[in-house]
Amino acid sequence: MKYAFYPGCVSKGGCPELFPSSVKVADKLNIEIEEMKDVACTGAGVLPQYLSDPINARTLAKAEKLGLPMMTICSTCQGVLAQANYRLTSDPEYRAKINKEYLAEEGLEYKGTTDVKHLLWVLFEDYGIDRLKSLIRRPLTGLKVSPFYGCFLRRPPEAITPTKESNARKSYLDQIIGIVGAELADISGKGKCCGFPILSANEENSLAMVAKHTGESKEKGADFMVTPCPLCHLNLDGNQSRAEAQTGQEINLPILHLPQFVGLALGFDPEEMNLKRHIVSTKTVETKVEMLT
């Protein structure tokens, strides 16, 4: 089981705790990864399609050349790559145009065969949940956890849930909470936007979204929230104190990345999963996790 690993900018930038914990978890699970180092940022939904599609076609072509499926650890990277891949594979004329005008000069051609999967999907669809369960060394019993998917990991359907079976992707994060032995603290906005895309354009609305989701999770008694999207993490964790100040609420909810969450259940210590790097203190989580060992 080997993947062309696309870590995304944020896992090495604003959330530097994510990249090393993902690598450790992949290693523990025996998922072989080859990092794609010479490819571009996806554009994250900020760059217009006429710029992001050609640079993403290049990334997809490079993975195809390696003969490997791609694995992402970011809902936004996953969404943008999957949307570009959908356009490039469903419209051969468009693909031919991109190949000719942008990729040919570098001697690349995208034939349309690269499969792109988020780590969350890999665990369910390729790795196998029974295999994962057999490796759990520290069931997270007694911890209440809210899921937060990142909207790009939910929609649009043609790129994210193209088949009837793939509809199950909308519940993978809920399921994984139970699989590692924790209790689900469900929230109504788990598939909604975290507000990060408009942090610059409309900070007030962005922070209101942070307060809404983290506040609801806290009300439901969650110990923390888990997300497969580092951009959601940047807003839900990094800007939570500003959201508290704006709304007058006290929230103080730790936010964990998916690989950190799975890693704790696999037996890694909070220190090894870099929990101390978060902006909202994870001390309460660390104490509870250490009591389980």
Partner 1 sequence: MEVTFKVYRKDPEKDGKPGRSNYTVEVPDGATVLEALLKIRDEMDSSLAFRCSCLRGHCGDCMVRVNGSSRLTCTAKVSAYTQKGPEISLDPLRNVPVIKDLVFDWDAFMWNKIRATKPWLDASETAADGESIIPDAPLQDLRKVMSCYNCGMCDEGCSVLPVDFDFLGPAALTKAYRFVFDPKEKDHKERMKVLEGPKGVWDCVHCYEADEHCPRGIEPTKRIIAIRDEAFRAGITNEKVARHHQSFAASVKESGWLDEGRLAVESEGLTNISGLMKLLPTAAKAMVRGKAPIPYMHSKRPGAEQIKRIFEKGEAEKK
Binding site for partner 1 (CB under 8 A): 9-10, 13-17, 37-41, 43-51, 54-55, 58, 101-102, 105-106, 151, 154-157, 192-193, 195, 197-198, 200-202, 204-205, 208-209, 212, 238-239, 241-242, 276-279
- Min separation Cβ 155 and partner 1, Å: 4
| 261 in Cβ contact with 180 (< 8 Å) | yes
The Cα–Cα gap between 146 and 184 comes to 6
- Min separation Cβ 227 and partner 1, Å: 15
- Min separation Cβ 3 and partner 1, Å: 19
The Cα–Cα gap between 269 and 163 comes to 38
- Min separation Cβ 157 and partner 1, Å: 7
Q: Strand, coil or helix: what is 212?
A: helix
Kindly tell me which of 38 and 250 has the beta carbon lying closer to partner 1. Answer: 38
Per the document, the length of the chain is 293
The Cα–Cα gap between 206 and 191 comes to 16
Name which of 86, 97, 85 is nearest 57 in CA terms.
Answer: 85
Q: Which long-range contacts (CB under 8 A, 24 or more apart) does 197-200 make?
A: 197/45, 197/46, 197/231, 199/235, 199/239
- Min separation Cβ 146 and partner 1, Å: 17
Kindly tell me which of 11 and 146 has the beta carbon lying closer to partner 1. Answer: 11
| 194 in Cβ contact with 209 (< 8 Å) | yes
- Min separation Cβ 128 and partner 1, Å: 29
Name which of 287, 273, 292 is nearest 24 in CA terms.
Answer: 273
Kindly tell me which of 154 and 218 has the beta carbon lying closer to partner 1. Answer: 154
| 30 in Cβ contact with 96 (< 8 Å) | no
Kindly tell me which of 2 and 276 has the beta carbon lying closer to partner 1. Answer: 276
Kindly tell me which of 234 and 258 has the beta carbon lying closer to partner 1. Answer: 234
Kindly tell me which of 95 and 278 has the beta carbon lying closer to partner 1. Answer: 278
The Cα–Cα gap between 86 and 152 comes to 14
